[in-house]
Protein backbone atom coordinates (compact mmCIF):
# COMPACT_ATOMS: atom_id res chain seq x y z
CA UNK A 1 0.00 0.00 0.00
CA UNK A 2 1.59 3.29 -1.09
CA UNK A 3 2.13 6.36 1.05
CA UNK A 4 -0.52 9.02 1.08
CA UNK A 5 0.16 12.63 0.08
CA UNK A 6 -0.11 13.66 3.72
CA UNK A 7 2.49 11.12 4.76
CA UNK A 8 4.89 12.32 2.05
CA UNK A 9 4.43 15.90 3.12
CA UNK A 10 5.04 14.96 6.73
CA UNK A 11 8.25 13.14 5.84
CA UNK A 12 9.40 16.07 3.71
CA UNK A 13 8.75 18.46 6.55
CA UNK A 14 10.72 16.22 8.93
CA UNK A 15 13.66 16.14 6.48
CA UNK A 16 13.62 19.94 6.10
CA UNK A 17 13.51 20.36 9.88
CA UNK A 18 16.48 18.00 10.26
CA UNK A 19 18.39 19.89 7.58
CA UNK A 20 17.73 23.12 9.44
CA UNK A 21 18.95 21.53 12.68
CA UNK A 22 22.11 20.27 10.96
CA UNK A 23 22.76 23.71 9.44
CA UNK A 24 22.43 25.28 12.88
CA UNK A 25 24.83 22.74 14.39
CA UNK A 26 27.30 23.32 11.55
CA UNK A 27 27.10 27.08 12.03
CA UNK A 28 27.72 26.69 15.75
CA UNK A 29 30.70 24.41 15.10
CA UNK A 30 32.21 26.85 12.61
CA UNK A 31 31.67 29.70 15.05
CA UNK A 32 33.40 27.71 17.77
CA UNK A 33 36.42 26.96 15.55
CA UNK A 34 36.72 30.60 14.52
CA UNK A 35 36.54 31.71 18.12
CA UNK A 36 39.19 29.18 19.12
CA UNK A 37 41.47 30.36 16.30
CA UNK A 38 41.03 33.98 17.38
CA UNK A 39 41.85 33.05 20.95
CA UNK A 40 45.01 31.16 19.87
CA UNK A 41 46.14 34.18 17.82
CA UNK A 42 45.59 36.45 20.79
CA UNK A 43 47.53 34.11 23.07
CA UNK A 44 50.44 34.10 20.61
CA UNK A 45 50.40 37.92 20.55
CA UNK A 46 50.41 38.08 24.35
CA UNK A 47 53.30 35.60 24.53
CA UNK A 48 55.32 37.74 22.10
CA UNK A 49 54.58 40.87 24.14
CA UNK A 50 55.75 39.00 27.21
CA UNK A 51 59.01 38.00 25.50
CA UNK A 52 59.64 41.59 24.42
CA UNK A 53 58.98 42.84 27.93
CA UNK A 54 61.36 40.23 29.33
CA UNK A 55 64.10 41.27 26.90
CA UNK A 56 63.56 44.92 27.77
CA UNK A 57 63.76 44.10 31.46
CA UNK A 58 67.05 42.24 30.90
CA UNK A 59 68.51 45.14 28.91
CA UNK A 60 67.48 47.65 31.56
CA UNK A 61 69.15 45.48 34.18
CA UNK A 62 72.39 45.43 32.15
CA UNK A 63 72.22 49.20 31.59
CA UNK A 64 71.79 49.85 35.30
CA UNK A 65 74.70 47.53 36.08
CA UNK A 66 76.89 49.35 33.56
CA UNK A 67 76.03 52.71 35.14
CA UNK A 68 76.81 51.37 38.60
CA UNK A 69 80.14 49.82 37.57
CA UNK A 70 81.35 52.66 35.34
CA UNK A 71 82.59 52.48 31.72
CA UNK A 72 83.87 49.15 30.42
CA UNK A 73 87.59 48.90 29.65
CA UNK A 74 88.73 49.52 26.08
CA UNK A 75 88.61 46.24 24.11
CA UNK A 76 91.29 47.25 21.64
CA UNK A 77 94.63 45.56 22.23
CA UNK A 78 97.40 48.12 21.89
CA UNK A 79 100.65 46.83 20.40
CA UNK A 80 104.19 47.62 21.43
CA UNK A 81 105.86 50.78 20.14
CA UNK A 82 107.77 48.77 17.52
CA UNK A 83 104.65 46.93 16.39
CA UNK A 84 102.69 50.18 16.23
CA UNK A 85 105.43 51.68 14.08
CA UNK A 86 105.30 48.64 11.76
CA UNK A 87 101.53 48.98 11.39
CA UNK A 88 101.86 52.70 10.64
CA UNK A 89 104.44 52.01 7.92
CA UNK A 90 102.30 49.23 6.47
CA UNK A 91 99.25 51.54 6.39
CA UNK A 92 101.31 54.19 4.61
CA UNK A 93 102.41 51.69 1.96
CA UNK A 94 98.85 50.49 1.48
CA UNK A 95 97.72 54.06 0.85
CA UNK A 96 100.23 54.29 -2.06
CA UNK A 97 98.23 51.68 -4.04
CA UNK A 98 101.14 49.29 -4.55
CA UNK A 99 100.04 46.59 -7.00
CA UNK A 100 101.45 43.95 -9.28
CA UNK A 101 102.51 45.49 -12.63
CA UNK A 102 99.42 44.37 -14.55
CA UNK A 103 97.14 46.37 -12.22
CA UNK A 104 98.93 49.62 -13.17
CA UNK A 105 99.42 50.75 -9.58
CA UNK A 106 102.67 51.83 -7.92
CA UNK A 107 104.34 48.51 -8.78
CA UNK A 108 107.88 49.94 -8.84
CA UNK A 109 107.65 50.17 -5.06
CA UNK A 110 107.94 46.37 -4.79
CA UNK A 111 111.65 46.54 -5.67
CA UNK A 112 112.16 48.70 -2.56
CA UNK A 113 110.75 45.97 -0.32
CA UNK A 114 113.09 43.42 -1.86
CA UNK A 115 116.32 45.39 -2.33
CA UNK A 116 116.45 48.33 0.12
CA UNK A 117 118.47 47.99 3.31
CA UNK A 118 115.51 49.28 5.32
CA UNK A 119 113.63 46.20 4.11
CA UNK A 120 114.94 42.80 2.98
CA UNK A 121 118.24 44.10 1.64
CA UNK A 122 118.60 41.57 -1.16
CA UNK A 123 120.53 43.98 -3.36
CA UNK A 124 121.57 41.28 -5.81
CA UNK A 125 118.01 40.76 -7.00
CA UNK A 126 116.91 42.35 -10.28
CA UNK A 127 114.30 45.10 -10.21
CA UNK A 128 110.80 43.68 -9.96
CA UNK A 129 108.93 43.94 -13.25
CA UNK A 130 106.73 40.82 -13.52
CA UNK A 131 104.15 39.14 -11.34
CA UNK A 132 105.63 36.00 -9.78
CA UNK A 133 109.23 37.11 -10.24
CA UNK A 134 109.79 37.12 -6.45
CA UNK A 135 107.64 35.95 -3.53
CA UNK A 136 107.71 39.28 -1.68
CA UNK A 137 105.21 38.82 1.17
CA UNK A 138 108.03 38.54 3.73
CA UNK A 139 109.87 41.43 2.10
CA UNK A 140 106.85 43.65 2.72
CA UNK A 141 106.77 42.73 6.43
CA UNK A 142 110.52 43.37 6.57
CA UNK A 143 109.91 46.87 5.18
CA UNK A 144 107.05 47.45 7.64
CA UNK A 145 109.33 46.78 10.61
CA UNK A 146 112.22 48.53 8.88
CA UNK A 147 115.33 49.39 10.84
CA UNK A 148 113.47 48.84 14.12
CA UNK A 149 114.40 45.17 13.62
CA UNK A 150 118.05 44.20 13.21
CA UNK A 151 119.12 43.94 9.59
CA UNK A 152 120.39 40.37 9.92
CA UNK A 153 116.92 39.21 10.96
CA UNK A 154 115.22 41.02 8.12
CA UNK A 155 117.68 39.74 5.54
CA UNK A 156 118.04 36.15 6.69
CA UNK A 157 114.78 35.21 8.44
CA UNK A 158 111.96 37.34 6.99
CA UNK A 159 112.27 36.28 3.31
CA UNK A 160 110.19 33.10 3.54
CA UNK A 161 107.84 30.95 5.62
CA UNK A 162 110.47 28.21 5.75
CA UNK A 163 113.17 30.53 7.07
CA UNK A 164 110.82 31.80 9.77
CA UNK A 165 109.90 28.28 10.82
CA UNK A 166 113.47 26.96 10.80
CA UNK A 167 114.77 29.96 12.78
CA UNK A 168 111.90 30.70 15.17
CA UNK A 169 109.57 27.68 15.19
CA UNK A 170 111.13 26.27 18.36
CA UNK A 171 111.75 29.59 20.14
CA UNK A 172 109.74 31.85 22.43
CA UNK A 173 108.82 33.95 19.40
CA UNK A 174 106.49 31.23 18.15
CA UNK A 175 103.10 31.81 19.79
CA UNK A 176 101.11 29.02 18.20
CA UNK A 177 97.80 28.33 19.93
CA UNK A 178 97.34 31.95 20.95
CA UNK A 179 95.27 34.59 19.20
CA UNK A 180 97.25 36.97 16.98
CA UNK A 181 97.93 40.46 18.29
CA UNK A 182 98.64 43.65 16.34
CA UNK A 183 102.21 43.57 15.07
CA UNK A 184 102.45 39.77 15.03
CA UNK A 185 103.90 38.11 11.95
CA UNK A 186 101.21 35.60 11.07
CA UNK A 187 101.96 32.84 8.56
CA UNK A 188 98.83 31.37 7.01
CA UNK A 189 97.80 28.48 4.81
CA UNK A 190 96.48 29.53 1.41
CA UNK A 191 94.23 26.48 1.27
CA UNK A 192 92.42 25.33 4.41
CA UNK A 193 92.02 21.89 2.85
CA UNK A 194 95.78 21.49 2.42
CA UNK A 195 97.96 22.12 5.48
CA UNK A 196 100.70 19.73 4.47
CA UNK A 197 103.48 22.37 4.47
CA UNK A 198 104.43 22.65 8.12
CA UNK A 199 105.93 26.11 7.61
CA UNK A 200 102.75 27.56 6.07
CA UNK A 201 102.37 29.33 2.72
CA UNK A 202 102.10 33.11 3.12
CA UNK A 203 103.39 35.84 5.48
CA UNK A 204 101.06 38.56 6.80
CA UNK A 205 101.15 41.39 9.34
CA UNK A 206 98.33 41.39 11.90
CA UNK A 207 96.96 44.91 12.44
CA UNK A 208 93.80 44.20 14.46
CA UNK A 209 93.02 41.32 16.86
CA UNK A 210 90.30 38.73 16.36
CA UNK A 211 86.69 39.81 16.33
CA UNK A 212 83.79 37.75 17.65
CA UNK A 213 83.68 35.79 14.38
CA UNK A 214 87.29 34.61 14.73
CA UNK A 215 88.58 36.95 12.01
CA UNK A 216 91.71 39.08 12.38
CA UNK A 217 92.70 42.00 10.16
CA UNK A 218 95.93 42.09 8.18
CA UNK A 219 97.95 44.19 5.79
CA UNK A 220 99.82 41.97 3.34
CA UNK A 221 102.07 42.12 0.33
CA UNK A 222 101.96 39.78 -2.66
CA UNK A 223 98.32 38.92 -2.02
CA UNK A 224 94.83 39.52 -3.37
CA UNK A 225 92.51 41.84 -1.49
CA UNK A 226 91.41 45.41 -1.00
CA UNK A 227 93.53 48.37 -2.07
CA UNK A 228 92.62 52.08 -2.10
CA UNK A 229 91.64 51.62 -5.75
CA UNK A 230 89.62 48.43 -5.33
CA UNK A 231 90.34 44.72 -5.33
CA UNK A 232 93.85 44.01 -6.67
CA UNK A 233 96.92 41.87 -6.19
CA UNK A 234 99.63 43.75 -4.32
CA UNK A 235 99.70 45.47 -0.91
CA UNK A 236 96.22 44.82 0.40
CA UNK A 237 94.01 44.73 3.46
CA UNK A 238 91.87 41.75 4.32
CA UNK A 239 90.53 39.60 7.13
CA UNK A 240 91.82 36.12 7.81
CA UNK A 241 90.14 33.29 9.65
CA UNK A 242 92.05 31.98 12.67
CA UNK A 243 91.56 28.53 11.16
CA UNK A 244 93.97 29.56 8.37
CA UNK A 245 96.86 30.24 10.77
CA UNK A 246 99.95 28.08 10.40
CA UNK A 247 102.18 29.98 12.88
CA UNK A 248 102.25 33.20 14.87
CA UNK A 249 105.60 34.91 15.49
CA UNK A 250 105.97 37.72 18.04
CA UNK A 251 109.30 39.53 18.11
CA UNK A 252 111.36 39.60 21.32
CA UNK A 253 113.09 42.69 22.74
CA UNK A 254 116.50 41.50 21.56
CA UNK A 255 115.26 41.38 17.97
CA UNK A 256 115.13 45.17 17.97
CA UNK A 257 118.81 45.50 18.83
CA UNK A 258 121.27 45.86 15.97
CA UNK A 259 124.02 43.24 16.14
pLDDT given for residue 17 in this prediction: 74
Cα–Cα distance measured from residue 127 to residue 115, given in angstroms and rounded to the nearest whole number: 8
Residue range of the domain that includes 91: 81-256
- 59 & 122 share domain: no
Per the prediction, the chain carries an average pLDDT of 86
- 104 & 154 share domain: yes
- 163 & 248 share domain: yes
Going by the DSSP 8-state scheme, the letter that residue 2 receives in this structure is: P
pLDDT given for residue 24 in this prediction: 74
Domain C-terminal end among 42, 72, 102:
72
Cα–Cα distance measured from residue 83 to residue 95, given in angstroms and rounded to the nearest whole number: 18
If pLDDT is split at 50, 70 and 90, which confidence band does 93 have? very high
pLDDT given for residue 234 in this prediction: 98
Higher pLDDT, 24 or 221: 221
User: pLDDT tens digit string along 152-176?
Assistant: 999 999 999 999 999 999 999 999 9
Cα–Cα distance measured from residue 77 to residue 199, given in angstroms and rounded to the nearest whole number: 27
- 199 & 111 share domain: yes
pLDDT given for residue 249 in this prediction: 98
If pLDDT is split at 50, 70 and 90, which confidence band does 13 have? confident
Q: Count the alpha carbons within 13 Å of 221 in the hemisphere toward its beta carbon.
A: 33
Q: How many domains, in total, are found in the chain?
A: 2
Q: Are 169 and 185 in contact (CB under 8 A)?
A: no
CB neighbour list of residue 143: distance below 8 Å, 6 or more residues apart: 89, 93, 112, 113, 116, 118, 119, 120
72 φ/ψ angles, rounded to the nearest 5 degrees: -75, 150
Domain C-terminal end among 72, 104, 131:
72
Amino acid sequence: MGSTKTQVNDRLKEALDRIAELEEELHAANLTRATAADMLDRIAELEEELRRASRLQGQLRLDLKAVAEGPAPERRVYPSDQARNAITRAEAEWSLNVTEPEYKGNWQRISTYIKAREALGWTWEADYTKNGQFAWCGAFVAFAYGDKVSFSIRQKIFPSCLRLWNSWGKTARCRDGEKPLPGDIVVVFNNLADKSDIQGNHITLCVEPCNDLGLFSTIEGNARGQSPAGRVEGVIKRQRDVQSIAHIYRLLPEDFEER
